[in-house]
Amino acid sequence: MYYNDNTVIYLNGEWIKARDAKADLFSQTLHYGYGVFEGLRSYATPDGPHIFKARRHFKRLLESSKKLRLNIPYTVAELVELSYQLLRKNNLNDTYIRPLVYGGQNMALHPSKQVNFMMAAWEWEKYHRTEHLDVEISDYRRPSPLSCHIDAKLVGQYTSAILASAAARAKGFDEALLLDADGYIAQGPGANFFYEKDEVLYTPPEGNILPGITRAIIMDYARELGYKVEEKLSKPSELHKADAAFFTGTATEVAGIRSIDGKRFKVEWEDSIGYSLFLMYRQRVVNKEIQDFTLV
Ligand code: PMP
């Protein structure tokens, strides 16, 4: 599904066939989850594929790498160029792009000296198949910011995300919503969270979340449309009074939430602020946002 016999990936300075690529079974990342990654999307436009917010994503990748002392020898501009080459080599337009920084052989608990960098792309539908997600508040919590750099895209952190998502799906929900270590609403397993109440948009502040690029864009769009956006800590009980809610993320884009823990929101997704933002997002990603278009 992610590659076929013709798929080309970038690995440590070379373009190679995905089927010929090898990873070391003694990689520190495989054993301990010590690595970082990014997720970007490209959209087909009349002038060819456009990678949405490419610079911001690669900047975050380099920042995440630095936090883990897994530095890679590339600049943001070089990574942007490589990602466009990747699309050209695979003749891809609408895709998801995955750069991954992972350690070499090292079973000791200090950062691997060898650092690997790979980048692949594949066609990936919008992450959720429905626009009306039934969500459960998970018993699993977001890792504490005191335990690791949870504001970076760290490989190992996704264990709790997968556990929360699997538990929710096993009970018939579409997705999980994780609280932070103090019991405040944090985010989805791989997406940020917003809720609406009386025409105001609320989202958890930075600290216990991954500060998503889509989250920042959606806050800008909402303000552009004249809505008030507040970053605030909320307890799950406050959701019972909310009008509507949605997730945001590169893979998720903007996905409406119909119910939380079986309780349906008052306002239908199509009548919510989130839906207007979803339409605005879709329109802007395919029309290339001016800012990134001129920079890239
Ligand atoms: N939280 C987590 C844990 C994620 O993996 C993602 C997806 N990268 C997000 C939030 C959303 O971030 P972004 O909008 O930058 O894709």
Residue-wise burial string across 136-145, b where 16 or more C-beta atoms lie within 10 A, e elsewhere: bbbebbbbee
Question: For 112-121, 204-213, 258-267, 285-294, which range has the lowest pLDDT when averaged over its residues?
Answer: 285-294
CATH code at 88? 3.30.470.10
Task: Flag whether pLDDT at 270 surpasses 70.
Answer: yes
Q: Which residue, chain included where needed, has tokens 């999980």? A: 176
| Ligand 1 touching residue 204 (CB < 6 A) | no
- Is 31 a member of any domain? yes
Nearest residue (by CA) to ligand 1, atom 12, is 212
For the chain, what is the mean pLDDT? 94
Task: Flag whether pLDDT at 118 surpasses 90.
Answer: yes
Question: Are 86 and 25 part of one and the same domain?
Answer: yes
What pLDDT score was predicted for residue 172? 97
171-181 pLDDT, tens digit per residue, is: 999 999 999 99
What pLDDT score was predicted for residue 289? 59
Total count of domains within the chain: 2
Residue-wise burial string across 21-44, b where 16 or more C-beta atoms lie within 10 A, e elsewhere: beeeeebbbeebebbbbbbbbbbe
Give the residue from 122, 152, 170 where a domain finishes: 122
Report CA(14)–ligand 1 centroid distance (Å).
28
Instruction: State the alpha helices, DSSP H only, in 210-289.
Output: 213-224, 236-239, 273-286
What pLDDT score was predicted for residue 274? 97
* pLDDT tier for residue 294 given thresholds of 50, 70 and 90: very low
Task: Return the H-helix or E-strand segment holding 162.
Answer: helix 158-170
What pLDDT score was predicted for residue 208? 95
What pLDDT score was predicted for residue 209? 97
56-110 pLDDT, tens digit per residue, is: 999 999 999 999 999 999 999 999 999 999 999 999 999 999 999 999 999 999 9
159-169 pLDDT, tens digit per residue, is: 999 999 999 99
241-255 pLDDT, tens digit per residue, is: 999 999 999 999 999
What pLDDT score was predicted for residue 292? 46
Please state the rounded mean pLDDT for residues 100-129.
93
CATH code at 211? 3.20.10.10
CB 207 within 8 A of CB 213: no
Give the residue from 75, 96, 122 where a domain finishes: 122
Question: Are 222 and 174 part of one and the same domain?
Answer: yes
Give the residue from 102, 122, 142 where a domain finishes: 122
Question: Are 96 and 225 part of one and the same domain?
Answer: no
* pLDDT tier for residue 288 given thresholds of 50, 70 and 90: low
What pLDDT score was predicted for residue 159? 95
Nearest residue (by CA) to ligand 1, atom 3, is 190
In whole angstroms, what is the distance from residue 187 CA to residue 140 CA? 12
Catalytic residues: 153
Report CA(197)–ligand 1 centroid distance (Å).
24
% of the chain beyond a pLDDT of 70:
97
Domain region containing 234: 133-285
User: Which of 250, 252, 254, 277 is the best mutation target for the ligand 1 pocket, counting ligand atoms within 8 Å of the beta carbon and taking the most?
Assistant: 250
Question: Are 251 and 194 part of one and the same domain?
Answer: yes
What pLDDT score was predicted for residue 143? 92
